[in-house]
Amino acid sequence: MNTLFRSSVALLMATVLAAACGAGGTGATATPAASAAATQAAPITLQFASFAWQKATVDAHNKIVADWNAAHPNITVKIVTVDVNSVHDKLLTTFQGGTAADIIHDESADIGGFAGQGFLADLTPLVPADLKADIPQGIWDTVTFDKKIAGVPTILQTYSVFVNKKMLADAKVTLPTASSPWTWDQFAQVAKQLTTADRFGVGWGLKSPAATVMSMSLNFNGLFFYNEGGKNVVKFGAAEQQVLRRIRDLAYTDKSLSLTTLGQSGPDILPGFFAGKYAMIVGGNYVAQQMVEQAPAAFEWAMLPLLKGDSQAQSANPQTLSISKQSKNPKEAMQFIAFYMQGQNLANVAIGDWLIPVSGAAAKAVTATTGGKNSWDVNVASTPSLKLAPFQVLDAYPQWKSQIAQPAFQQYFANKIDLDTVGKTLIEGWTKVGGQ
C-alpha cells in the first residue's frame, strides 16, 4: 500500500510539472491563457439598472433575470431599480460617480448624450449577428451615434387611433386594415360623419402636443430640422404644417374634435371615451393597456393601423439596453442582453408595457401569446413604419421641444396664434436655445 501510494504521488507531481513546463513556464506562475480562463470561470455579478415600473413589466423583468441566473450560476444579474421620473439624472450621477451599473435601461433619445460623453460602450462588435439581423435597420439607426451602437433597442410606441367598434358599426363605417390604412383625409371624413349632437367624432388629449406633432409630421415628411452646410436649421414649410393644420381643422372647421380634450392628457380622455362622448380617440399605443384594465365589460374597442399621409412613418424612440463603459464584464453583459432579447422574453416585456417589440422573433411571440387580440396584430405590424427623425440626434432638441415647440403648439390649438406665428416662434426659438 505504501509503495503504491508513493508511486501515485510521484506520478501526479510529474504530470503537474510537465503540464506547467509544456505551457512555457516553470510552474511558479500561470500563463496568460490560464489566468484568463480562471478569471472567466470566477463568479461575477452584473448590475442591471432598470426603470420598469408597471407591475406586468416588472414581473417580466424579474422572470428574465431569474431564468438567466438559474441557467448561469457564475454570472449573476441583479436588478437596480431606477425611478422612472428621474432616469436621466440618476444615470448621470452614477456615471459621473463611477458607480454605474453594467447594464443600463434607457431610451434612444437619451443615450446619445451619454455616448457622446464616453459613458457607454460601443456595442458594434458585441451584438450577435442574428440579433442584429432580426431588427430593422431603421430602428438600429436610432441607437447609432458616430457609427457606434450605443444600445440595443427593445420596445417602442406609436401614436394611433382607437375606436368604439359599436359606434362605427352602427354608422356602417368599415374599419381600415394593415394593407389599406386610413389616410388623414379619410380619418377626418369619418370623424365628421360620427359627430352628432350627443358626441364628437374624436377626442384627442393634446395637453403636451409636441411629441405627437413632431412624430406624426413624418407622415408628410415634415422634418422641421435640416442640415445646411454642417449647421442644423429649423424650417416650417408646407410639410411641417400639415399635421398641425389638420388637427386644428378637426377642432375649429369640422367641429368634430372635442375642444375640451385638447387641454387634457391621453389618460384623461378615457372616461369620456368609455362613456360614449367620443367615437374615436388618438393616443400612444400604450393606452391599450388602460383600455384592457379600465374599459367597461361590454365596451368593444380596436386600435387602427397608423394613419397615412405620404407614408405611415413615425419617429422611433425605442427603450434601450446599453453597457456602461465602466463595466468590467461587457461580454457577459451582452450575453445577458441577448438572452433578454430572445423572442418570448422580449414579448413578455412588450406585453407588460403594451409597446411594440422591435425584433421579428418577439413580434411573432407576441402574436402567438395574445392570439392577436386587443389589436396586438395591428400593434406589431407598425414596426416597419418607424424610423429615425432628424431631431432625435440634436443635443438642443429636448430644450427646444419643451421651451419653444410645446407652448407654441398649445397656443395654436387654443386658437390664440396662427401658423405664421408658430413658424416664426420655432425658427427663432432654435437660436435662443443655442441650436446648431
pLDDT at 196 over 70: yes
Mean pLDDT of all residues in the chain?
90
* Same structural domain, 220 and 368: no
Average pLDDT over residues 177-188: 96
Question: Any idea what the Cα angle at residue 114 is, between residues 86 and 228, rounded to 5°?
Answer: 115
Average pLDDT over residues 401-423: 97
Helix, strand or coil for residue 314?
strand
Phi, psi of 172 (to 5 degrees): 60, 40
Residue 239 lies in a domain: yes
User: How confident is residue 12, by pLDDT bands cut at 50, 70 and 90?
Assistant: very low
Report DSSP letters for 387-433, one per residue: E--GGGG-TTHHHHIIIIIHHHHHHHHTTSS-HHHHHHHHHHHHHHT
Q: What is the pLDDT of residue 10?
A: 41
Average pLDDT over residues 252-281: 96
* Same structural domain, 215 and 167: yes
Judge whether 300 and 165 are in contact, CB under 8 Å.
yes
* Torsion angle of the four alpha carbons 193, 183, 267, 91, in this order, in degrees rounded to the nearest 10: -170
Average pLDDT over residues 195-217: 96
User: How confident is residue 140, by pLDDT bands cut at 50, 70 and 90?
Assistant: very high
pLDDT at 381 over 70: yes
User: How confident is residue 36, by pLDDT bands cut at 50, 70 and 90?
Assistant: very low
| Residue ranges making up the domain that contains 203 | 159-316+395-432
Residue 358 lies in a domain: yes
**Looking at beta carbons, which pairs linking 122-126 to residues 24 or more positions away fall under 8 Å?**
122/148, 122/149, 122/150, 123/148, 123/149, 123/150, 123/151, 123/152, 123/322, 123/323, 123/334, 124/148, 124/149, 126/323, 126/330, 126/331, 126/334
* Same structural domain, 187 and 284: yes
Q: Which residues, 6+ apart, have CB-to-CB distance to 421 below 8 Å? A: 408, 412
Q: What b/e string do you get for 245-270 counting C-beta neighbours within 10 Å, with b at 16 or more?
A: ebbbebbeebebbbeebbebebeebb
Q: Which residues, 6+ apart, have CB-to-CB distance to 127 below 8 Å? A: 149, 152, 334
Q: Quick one: cell of 103?
A: 447594464
Residue 420 lies in a domain: yes
Q: Which residues, 6+ apart, have CB-to-CB distance to 193 below 8 Å? A: 171, 173, 201
Residue 310 lies in a domain: yes
User: How confident is residue 33, by pLDDT bands cut at 50, 70 and 90?
Assistant: very low
Q: What is the pLDDT of residue 55?
A: 87
Q: Quick one: cell of 395?
A: 443635443
Residue 35 lies in a domain: no
Q: What is the pLDDT of residue 398?
A: 83
Most confident of 20-34, 38-52, 388-402: 388-402
Q: What is the pLDDT of residue 436?
A: 79
For the ranges 25-29, 115-119, 164-168, the lowest mean pLDDT is seen at: 25-29
* Same structural domain, 335 and 412: no
Average pLDDT over residues 243-260: 98
Q: What is the pLDDT of residue 384?
A: 86
Q: What is the pLDDT of residue 41?
A: 63
Single-letter residue type at 373: K
Element (H, E) at 167: helix 165-170
Average pLDDT over residues 148-174: 96
User: How confident is residue 362, by pLDDT bands cut at 50, 70 and 90?
Assistant: very high
* Same structural domain, 363 and 291: no
Average pLDDT over residues 385-395: 89
* Same structural domain, 150 and 285: no
* Same structural domain, 300 and 412: yes
For the ranges 89-103, 160-174, 240-254, 282-296, the lowest mean pLDDT is seen at: 282-296
Q: What is the pLDDT of residue 153?
A: 97
Q: What is the CATH number of the domain that holds 357?
A: 3.40.190.10
* Same structural domain, 175 and 211: yes
User: How confident is residue 249, by pLDDT bands cut at 50, 70 and 90?
Assistant: very high
* Same structural domain, 71 and 151: yes
User: How confident is residue 395, by pLDDT bands cut at 50, 70 and 90?
Assistant: confident
Q: What is the pLDDT of residue 30?
A: 42
Q: Which one is predicted more confidently, 384 or 217?
A: 217
pLDDT at 102 over 50: yes
Q: How many domains does the chain have?
A: 2
Q: What is the pLDDT of residue 415?
A: 96
Phi, psi of 153 (to 5 degrees): -70, 150
Q: What is the pLDDT of residue 383?
A: 86
